[in-house]
Amino acid sequence: MESVFEMHCAALQSDIADVLVVDDHPVIRAGLIAILQTNPCYRVCGECGTAREAVDLFRRVRPKITLLDLKLPDGYGVEVIRAIRQIDPKARILVITTYEGDEDIHQSLQAGAMGYLVKGVSHEVIFRALRKIQQGCVFLPEPVSCTLQNRSNERLTERERQVLSLIVAGKSNREIGKTLNIKEVSVKSHITEILSRLQVSDRTQAVVVALKRGLEHL
């Protein structure tokens, strides 16, 4: 028969949330782990720096919460969110990244993330986010929430996204047409529509806005 002390210890142990930390920068990853180790409510059960490792490790350790960067060397974090949610539809994922664009935030939440933080937030905000997510709530600090609320209603079509991606890559109209197997006049038409939707006047501004919003990444 268990003693009162043993039962109390077991109860405390059950309250500890296992956390998987995913970030491609070893120093930042170590920093996040150090922060988590200051709070006895959390225990780091794994760490990695690539999209592939993140999915594989999640499948093995099944953490309570996954702390995830969007910028990974072998993929975009949103795809990792989708893959993890396929493994476990109830997976709780907190994004912590340098990406501040409205499209990054929108795509992350659509994929199943329950929180979104921009790197540089305080320890207190990180723990507040973790607590909310543990409770099954979505956590968005005010700056992130404002960015999302101000998200443009203009949506690019799939073809326009392809053209924009090639513009960001520095391709000319002729190169874009050849890559997508469409006429150059069609490329110009798509670019005109892209500029209108992004509310800019030239290709350079389109690239700046695309990168800022998270429509494209370098």
Domain 158-213 in the same topology as domain 4-149: no
Q: Express each pLDDT in 154-204 by its tens digit.
A: 788 889 989 998 998 899 999 999 999 999 999 999 899 989 888 888 999
Strands 71-72 and 92-97: unpaired
Residue 10 reports pLDDT greater than 50 = no
CATH level 3 topology of 158-213? Arc Repressor Mutant, subunit A (1.10.10)
- Give the CA diameter of the chain: 81
Residue 129 reports pLDDT greater than 70 = yes
34, 26 Cβ separation under 8 angstroms: no
Q: Express each pLDDT in 66-117 by its tens digit.
A: 999 999 999 999 999 999 999 999 999 999 999 999 999 999 999 999 999 9
Residue 43 reports pLDDT greater than 60 = yes
> Domain spanning 4-149: which superfamily?
Response regulator (3.40.50.2300)
| Of residues 178 and 14, more confidently modeled | 178
* pLDDT at residue 14, rounded to an integer: 54
Give the separation between CA 185 and CA 67, rounded to whole angstroms.
Answer: 45
Q: How far is CA 136 from CA 11, 59, 93, 149, 200, in A?
A: 20, 21, 11, 22, 40
157, 208 Cβ separation under 8 angstroms: no
- Break the chain into its structural domains and give their ranges: 4-149, 158-213
* pLDDT at residue 155, rounded to an integer: 82
Residue the block writes with tokens 């099944």 = 62
Task: Tell me the pTM.
Answer: 0.80
Of 47-61, 184-198, 203-217, the range with the highest mean pLDDT is 47-61
What's the token pair of residue 112?
């199943």
What's the token pair of residue 38?
């200051």
Q: Express each pLDDT in 96-108 by its tens digit.
A: 999 999 999 999 9
